[in-house]
Amino acid sequence: MRCHEVDYEIIGDDLQMVEVELDPGETVIAEAGAMNYMETGIDFEAKMGDGSQADEGLLGKLFQVGKRVLTGESIFMTHFTNSGHGKSRVAFAAPYPGKIIAIDMGAIGGEIVCHKGAFLCAALGTAVSIALQKRLGAGFFGGEGFILQRLRGDGMAFMHAGGTVIEKELDGDTLRVDTGCIVGFTSGIDYDIQRAGGLKSMIFGGEGIFLATLSGHGRVWLQSMPFSRLADTILAHAPRQGGSSKGEGSAIGQFSTLFKG
């Protein structure tokens, strides 16, 4: 099934949304809860599966649902269809500060592997499935476990990532990356892990015990602020039970705690 051809506009800077323009009869699929607003003429329906196989049947849909459960995503995907007579728009927002990446799947070979949770929405016809890691080491220590998401199609797909996003082109060389900073990569990239230097560097270097290695020929998308790192930073500065907190580490903040209680 060829993907629907949709137009789009990415709006905003650090808290972005993507506005997708649909012609009559066109459909875009999205993760549950990603929709921000939609214009008159747009109808939506929660369905099992991504709709890329029109004749997959009930067993096929249940199989797709089982794979989505493994990735930790909702068992349903929402299909937004323009049922009107003119162009209409629907917008989807990223769930945390960062960037939305627009990818023309047909221009990159029709396949991309991304970390679970990166997929935001795509033109109908895009197959959203799982990609199991073949190496035990990459599965246990690669930051995303054994399971990544695989997108296949020839239309537009949209991913979201934390912080600033950079795209790199690998031509047979190797890139070593913090395991949480990988957003996605094309099918020509080989993904593995390696130790982060010697024992002293692993313990005191602050870069974790393992680094991801990306090698081969293709594109790689990286993020500067993984959501897990953002959450850890917020929790580290959140007020603790009893009203105490780390605050900003300033002398004023430490002095003020003397008068509490």
- What integer pLDDT is reported at residue 65 of this predicted model? 60
Give CA–CA dist 252/250, Å, rounded.
Answer: 5
- With residue 228 as reference, give the H or E element that holds it: helix 227-237
Asked if the structure places residue 1 within a domain, the reply is no
Low-confidence ranges of the chain (pLDDT < 50): 136, 138-139, 145, 202, 205-206, 248-252, 254-261
Among 7, 121, 141, smallest CA distance to 73 is for 121
| 27-to-3, 84, 88, 89 alpha-carbon distances in Å | 9, 12, 11, 11
**72 within a domain of the structure (yes/no):** yes
Which residues partner with 167 through β-bridges? 221
Q: Residue 258 has what pLDDT?
A: 44
Which residues neighbour 107 within 8 Å (Cβ) at sequence distance 6 or greater? none
Its pTM stands at: 0.78
Helix or strand run (H / E) with residue 171: strand 165-177
Domain presence at residue 108: yes
Angle, CA of 207, 208 and 209, to the nearest 5°: 130
Residue 250: the pLDDT is 47
120 phi/psi in degrees, rounded to 5: -110, -55
Tokens linked to 261: 């209680």
- For residues 76 and 47, the answer to whether their CB atoms sit within 8 Å is yes
Domain assignment of residue 261, yes or no: no
The answer to whether residue 240 sits within a structural domain is no
Domain total in the chain? 1
The tokens of 219 are what?
């594109």
CATH of residue 129's domain is 3.60.160.10
* In-domain check, residue 154: yes
N- to C-terminal Cα separation, the chain: 66
The domain of 36 spans 7-234
Question: What average pLDDT does the structure give for the chain?
Answer: 79
72 and 79 Cβ atoms separated by less than 8 Å: no
Q: How many CA atoms lie within 13 A of 32 on its CB side?
A: 12
Helix (H) or strand (E) run with residue 221 in it: strand 210-223
Q: What is the pLDDT of residue 73?
A: 61
Question: Looking at residue 255, what is its pLDDT?
Answer: 41
pLDDT in tens, 17-30: 999 999 999 999 99
In a domain, 259, yes or no: no
Report pLDDT for 54: 62
* Contact call for residues 122 and 153 (beta carbons, < 8 A): yes
- Pairwise CA distance, residues 53 & 7, whole Å: 23
How does pLDDT run across 113-169, given as a tens digit for each residue? 998 788 999 999 999 888 766 554 544 555 554 578 889 999 999 999 998 999 999
HSE value, Cβ hemisphere, 13 Å, CA-based, for 11? 12
Is 52 within the bounds of a domain? yes
DSSP H helices, 31-169, are: 57-70, 136-141
